[in-house]
Amino acid sequence: MSIQSSQRNEQAAALSIEDLSFSYSGRKALDKVSFSVKSSECTILLGPNGAGKSTLFSLITRLYDSHHGNIQLCGFDVKKETRNALTRLGVVFQQTTLDLDLTVMQNLRYHTALQGMSRKLAKQRIQQELERMCMYERRSEKVRQLNGGHRRRVEIARALLHKPALLLLDEPTTGLDVPSRQSIVEHVHQLVADQGLAVLWATHLIDEIYPQDQLIIMHKGQVRVKGSVDEVLKITSSASINEAFRRLTQGENV
């Protein structure tokens, strides 16, 4: 990497989105979406089903393409500099992508091989992340034997193996019991505080938001409001995030 590219990487936001629009068969799913996510920042992307959250994630990860707007990861354009951009990204999708018939260790080793890691480094990273998620003792179990919460822990560990700058979480706690949800929410926020990780977390569950989080509320493909929790409450003249969300997504003016 050149000195210029290195400096750009250090100075840029982990994620920058400008005027992003996308349509399915003439129906606009995203309409001029703009926001950024910085290091050491957990940004909650809140919206009802159909708000455009999953479409946005598909564009960031290049599962979909877009001809309108710009997406940059650590200063790298995801369309023009795809490899440099995506190496800085870790993702946990809503639907599990683990191989159920492989062990935890086999799933993670496969990922490190795709990332081009040496066996020594891969072993170190896998142990580190599994221990962080309290899953190292279960490394030899097949994923099929794990419950939903433990599978999610493995997926988060896998997403962090290559030390990404940005972690995308697409409703990762859907279908989990309350203790499992709380454990994952607490762990991710701790990663932000301890490691300076940038997180973009798509959800429709308001109780997953911490007071120090940044917040983006989307509705019908548009960003209705963005800012800190306190800023969003002030902008919407609301006493709670639940009230602000209801006003912005059920037709009340703010």
How do residues 25-35 score in pLDDT, each as one tens digit? Answer: 888 899 999 99
pLDDT above 70: percentage of residues in the chain = 93
The residue to which tokens 């170190």 are assigned = 124
Lowest mean pLDDT among 4-8, 14-18, 237-241: 4-8
Within a 10 A sphere around the Cβ of 170, how many other Cβ atoms?
21
Domains and CATH numbers, the chain: 1-88+168-254 (3.40.50.300), 96-163 (no CATH)
* pLDDT for 17: 97
Q: What is the mean pLDDT of residues 189-215?
A: 93
Q: What is the mean pLDDT of residues 53-63?
A: 92
pTM: 0.88
* pLDDT for 61: 94
What would the pLDDT profile of 84-115 be if each residue is shown by its tens digit? 999 999 999 888 899 999 999 999 999 999 98
